[in-house]
Amino acid sequence: MRNAFADELLKLAREDSRVVILSGDIGNRLFDKFKAEFPDRFYNCGVAEANLISMSAGLASCGLRPIAYTITPFITTRCLEQIKVDVCYHEMPVLIVGTGSGLSYASLGSTHHSFEDLAIMRVLPGMAVLAPADSGELRSCMRAALRQNGPVYIRIGKKGEPVIFPEPPPFEIGKWNIMEPGERVTLLACGTLLPIALEAAAMLRFSEVNPQVARCASVKPLDADFLLKAAAESDLLVTLEEHSLAGGFGSAVAELLLDADLPHPPRLFRAGIPDHFLHDCGEQDHARTLCGLDARSIANRILKLLAK
């Protein structure tokens, strides 16, 4: 996803002279082409994220479209107050992009894990929160973000994510899309867990359960129409996210369902990361398995719930 990000940025910069990149000393060689073509629109702001965000807000206030980019924990929680005050309070169109989100940097330990970013970003008024599934959808999200006239946060992975969309798919902020039709069960996949959702769905079909699968890159705003229709049509809703169960995508879905005061609400199974730090080292797949976020675990949980 990082390479697609850099490639799409170059295209966007060619189309829109307001695009400026601020990097927190990351992306060694990733932006070489960009720097060569637009030397006055790329700034390495050093290991100093608070200033990077305030600076982005200042640039945006003068009509530019800054893109603030570094590793997710450092561009979200470390500089949270700058995002709240300078970006969101002032309604500045800054695009904040965190790389290595969720468990992408599993092997680097908890300092580099980010499973609180969706929760923290979505609580900020005016902030749109997007979690694309792969490189293709990331490109769509970036374009949608630049059409937005306010702050946007995009969480992305690192590299080598499975390709689902060889071409950028249709995407609108606040809209979800059906990947596979089905009945009784709806899998709502947030971000890079979409391939896991598709794999779990394939497993379930061997057990004569044919779930509907949706891609839900728009975490804030949610697609309320889609969700309420799915709630009416399904016995079981399942949310999947590489994020804490506290406050993230599944929580947002649960809040909306509760507030809708449905006469016959569906059951809800939220798949996510439990409330503890991960201490074991290992790669992303290993970490996902520890958290029950592999396709086999999710399919088994769904079968157990349906058998109740």
Partner 1 sequence: MSDPAELDLVSRQVRFSLIEISNRAQTAHLAGALSCVDLLVALYWTRLRITPGTVTDPARDRLIFSKGHAISALYTVLAKRGFFPEENLARYNEEGAGLPEQPSPGCVPGVEWATGSLGHGLGVGIGMALASRIQATPYRTYVVMSDGECQEGSVWEAAMLAPKLGLGSLTILVDFNKWQATGRSTEIMQMEPLAAKWQSFGWCAREVDGHDLPAIVNALHAETPPDQPLAIIANTIKGRGVSFIQDDNNWHYRSPSAEEVVKARQELLSHA
Number of residues that bind partner 1 (CB under 8 A): 30
Under rule CB under 8 A, residue 63 binds partner 1: yes
Cross-strand pairs, 214: 178, 188
Amino acid letter, 121: M
CA dist 118 and 249 (Å) reads 7
SS3 236: strand
CA dist 196 and 81 (Å) reads 34
Shortest distance in whole angstroms from residue 86 CB to partner 1: 6
Site for partner 1 in 67-96 (CB under 8 A): 81-82, 85-86, 89-91
Choice from 35, 54, 124, 270 touching partner 1 (CB under 8 A) = 54
∠ CA 234-244-233, rounded to 5°: 5
Under rule CB under 8 A, residue 59 binds partner 1: yes
Choice from 56, 135, 140, 239 touching partner 1 (CB under 8 A) = 56
Q: In what order do the strands lie in the sheet with 128-130?
A: 42-44, 19-23, 65-71, 95-99, 152-155, 128-130, 218-220
CA dist 272 and 288 (Å) reads 9
Under rule CB under 8 A, residue 65 binds partner 1: no
- Orientation of helix 295-307 relative to helix 194-206, angle to 10°: 50
Shortest distance in whole angstroms from residue 59 CB to partner 1: 4
CB-based contact 223:191 (threshold 8 Å) = no
Please tell me the number of Cα atoms within 13 Å of 294 on its side-chain side. 10
CA dist 248 and 259 (Å) reads 17
Place of tokens 């590299």: 159
> Which of residues 86 and 161 has its CB atom nearest to partner 1 in the complex?
86
Shortest distance in whole angstroms from residue 27 CB to partner 1: 18
Under rule CB under 8 A, residue 110 binds partner 1: no
> Which of residues 36 and 262 has its CB atom nearest to partner 1 in the complex?
36
Shortest distance in whole angstroms from residue 116 CB to partner 1: 21
CA dist 294 and 289 (Å) reads 5
x/- letters, 247..286, toward partner 1 (CB under 8 A): ----------------------------------------
Under rule CB under 8 A, residue 126 binds partner 1: no
Of 60-68, 204-212, 231-239, 280-288, the window that binds partner 1 (rule: CB under 8 A) is 60-68
> Which of residues 45 and 189 has its CB atom nearest to partner 1 in the complex?
45
Site for partner 1 in 22-41 (CB under 8 A): 40-41
Amino acid letter, 238: V
> Which of residues 35 and 184 has its CB atom nearest to partner 1 in the complex?
35
CA dist 12 and 205 (Å) reads 41
Under rule CB under 8 A, residue 58 binds partner 1: yes
CA dist 281 and 285 (Å) reads 11
Site for partner 1 in 166-195 (CB under 8 A): none
Rounded to 5 degrees, φ, ψ at 59 are -65, -45
Under rule CB under 8 A, residue 203 binds partner 1: no
Choice from 21, 60, 278, 293 touching partner 1 (CB under 8 A) = 60
Shortest distance in whole angstroms from residue 15 CB to partner 1: 17
Residues that bind partner 1 (CB under 8 A): 20, 40-41, 43, 45-46, 48, 50-64, 66, 81-82, 85-86, 89-91
